[in-house]
Structure 1
């Protein structure tokens, strides 16, 4: 372990390998490249401090270096103990980011590093899962007077933050980046859809075609997971509590069942709900031998590990990222990545082209907070539509796609109420 006042990483000598990774993904992130060029010229964050709690892998690193290029002092800590890439954090440390994260750190170390990242006394927070905001509100209230606002990356975090707003405990404004169109329509659906299966396939090296895949939750992440499972040849079963989403899943061509029913027939289970104990004891008790379970939600609570451990007579690790629970009757149930985010714990997370848009939004959210913090209230906001459209236009241009433009006549028609039948 290499630790100084400015960083704490596993091995600083890993930096060259991390730099190669960051350079590779940056080539496929044209929107963030464009924003970085603007930031380098304008220095919008000169004199400001930005603390981040994110999945510390190569795409995130390019975001952090973009913020630094904009003049910010940047600190970083992990939003998940198993998503950290040690070579990438070493590269960040070498490039002037105050980073405190080691893959596999325990809960005590996780929060110890969180506090180190907060010690810069930030003006802006960038969070993924709302742990950093929560820590400030509960344990580091002396920092609040300096904080202009925060942005949140993921669905789970936004749910927590809206609960804070409802309870009246928010002390600074929040930008729900997750709720921007160019985030959830692409990151949650196409990003999670591909990267979840990447993690499952890397861990197991098993065939998906012909299997019954149970997708628990049919939000945007669940839609993406189900869509990709179907493409891989699986029979897809959706478990959902929302009647409208359940109906949508059925009309999208998927079977819809309760978890009690699905538990009996599923071969692979993937949770993506943001809620606790979606798969639990009564479901484990009726599952087939050899079932594989993975989680695509932010926290490791969707598949009940305490219930698995209480039912098991033997626990083994047959392959990296696989925990085998042998039950009294001889059945074996397999949990991937300790029930944590399988796409980041067992793979490299979302593709660079997807995170290009999500992290472009994060960069612009920080700038939006800088420009508007004095008039924002202590509540949860969504970025203005024009920022969403800016990101989409840059992305389309990079893809070589030209879209149609409205004529003046068409604009006038759409603004008028006088034309009828």
Structure 2
């Protein structure tokens, strides 16, 4: 079997962790049981570029149970859990091309390795795989029925491709499913980001000034959890509606240049470049802790910070200290990459259960409906989205009401008035 991982001897530890996560993924487990019986992806080759975590492992196992030939590579150089990669190779015979801390050349070599398998379905987290296919491996596009995309950042890139009419096959925006972004982005990112910051720094959040850049669903989650731990949360935004929402939710809202002067912790979750830029770094106070939970490592201008620094050192694992000319120290977590995955373990399995249920069902949908789909970005069909919610509630032992025939008729009629 062709694969490239750090150390196959880590497999036993990884297997236990995969099994631990699986206990909290009942929706995906039900889909796996159906896939095992029906084999809806029989003979299909899936190339997945996702964070190599215990939750992702359970998705890959589900796809293989559905009959797919599955190949996995990492969507971020620092998010790979090497023991999980080893377990997938040894115990499930799923080829993995990912090593924690791999350099840029290795990262792209791994992307090309899974594309070499001539996939029929692509599965992305950030759109690096599909972007590479469109830029350098266009000869493979004719083999592809469609793809799926997990993140806000990736969906933005794909919609830009569709707008420019260069997208060569349909893609399902899994991120836009209600059962993904309302839960994964908000509760998953909120908890795992705080987890990563605490593991890296062991600093007290209570009583601190905690700056959240961006108030999308990820920003909402981070702000919510930081406030829950006693922080004075400040939000920065460029969107007037989101800024207004943050104000109404009880947060202080101000420009980053003002927040930079008073913040103790900073988290960027915007998907944009240089959100914390040189002018912000110049006014930060001594000891400021800067981190990112957006997909790419572009939200903090690290090049400018490096140029400003007179010396740097790795003072703790996942903490780099930048000493500036005036003696101030600024601390950057996890090289400005996803702090929740680089310094912690990513989202808890309970929320990834819904996200990856959407991934599995969307892959099945793309394959079954490829001849009907245009070369554009689609939302997850409502029936799949609501089915995931129904299964999750069922697994949690929660029951809800059903509309009566009278209520259904009332809601569908225009004739009823006051």
- TM-score, normalised to structure 1's length? 0.98
Partner of 1:55: 51
Please say if 1:351 is aligned against 2:355: no
Shift, 1:120, TM fit: 1.1
> Residue 241 of structure 2: which of 241, 244, 256 is its match?
244
Question: What is residue 22 of structure 2 aligned with on the other side?
Answer: 26
State the 1:299 CA deviation. Answer: 0.3
Residue 383 of structure 1 and its aligned partner are, at CA, apart by: 1.2
Equivalent-residue separation in structure 2 for 1:114 and 1:30 (angstroms): 30
1:68-89 per-residue CA deviation (whole Å, 9 max, x = no partner) reads: 0101000010000000011100
Q: How does 1:220-369 map to 2 (within 5 A)?
A: 220-369=217-366
Q: Does 1:76 align with 2:76?
A: no
Deviations 1:46-100 (A, max 9, x none): 1110000000011000000100010100001000000001110011111111111
Deviation string for 1:166-213 (max 9, x for gaps)?
A: 111100001000000000000000000000000000000010010000
Superposed displacement of residue 12, structure 1: 0.7
Q: CA deviation at 1:119?
A: 1.2
- Distance in 1 of aligned mates of 2:278 and 2:407: 59
Write the deviation string for residues 332-384 of structure 1: whole angstroms up to 9, x where unpaired: 00000000000000000001000000000000010000110011010000011
Distance 1:169 1:17 in 2: 43
Task: Give the structure 2 partner of residue 88 of structure 1.
Answer: 84
Q: Work out the CA distance in 2 between the residues paired with 1:52 and 1:183.
A: 18
Report the TM-score when normalising by structure 2: 0.99
* Cα offsets for 1:105-151 (capped at 9, x unmatched): 00000000111111111100000000000010011111111100000
Q: Give distance in 1, aligned partners of 2:261 and 2:99.
A: 39
1:114 aligns with 2:111: yes
Q: Does 1:183 align with 2:180?
A: yes
3-state SS, counterpart of residue 4 of structure 2: strand
Q: CA deviation at 1:418?
A: 1.1
Number of residue-to-residue matches in the alignment: 417
Partner of 2:34: 38
Shift of 1:419: 1.2
Q: Secondary structure at the match of 2:148?
A: strand
Distance 2:43 2:56 in 1: 22
Q: Once the 2 structures are TM-superposed, how far is the Cα of residue 40 of structure 1 from its aligned partner?
A: 0.1
Mapped pair 1:104 → 2:126:
no
Residue 127 (1) aligns with residue 89 (2): no
Could you tell me how far 1:13 is from its partner in structure 2?
1.2
Picking from 337, 354, 370, the partner of 2:367 is 370
SS at match of 1:64: helix
Secondary structure at the aligned position of 1:60 is classed as helix
Q: Residues of 1 paired with 2:64 and 2:378: CA distance? A: 25
Q: 1:406-417 alignment to 2 at 5 Å?
A: 406-417=403-414
Unaligned runs of 5+ in 1: none
Hey, what's the Cα distance between the residues in 2 that align with 1:252 and 1:376? Answer: 40
1:2-26 per-position Cα deviation (integer Å, ceiling 9, x unaligned): xxx5111111111111111100000
Structure 1 runs (4+) greater than 2 angstroms displaced: none
- Is 1:7 the counterpart of 2:3? The answer is yes
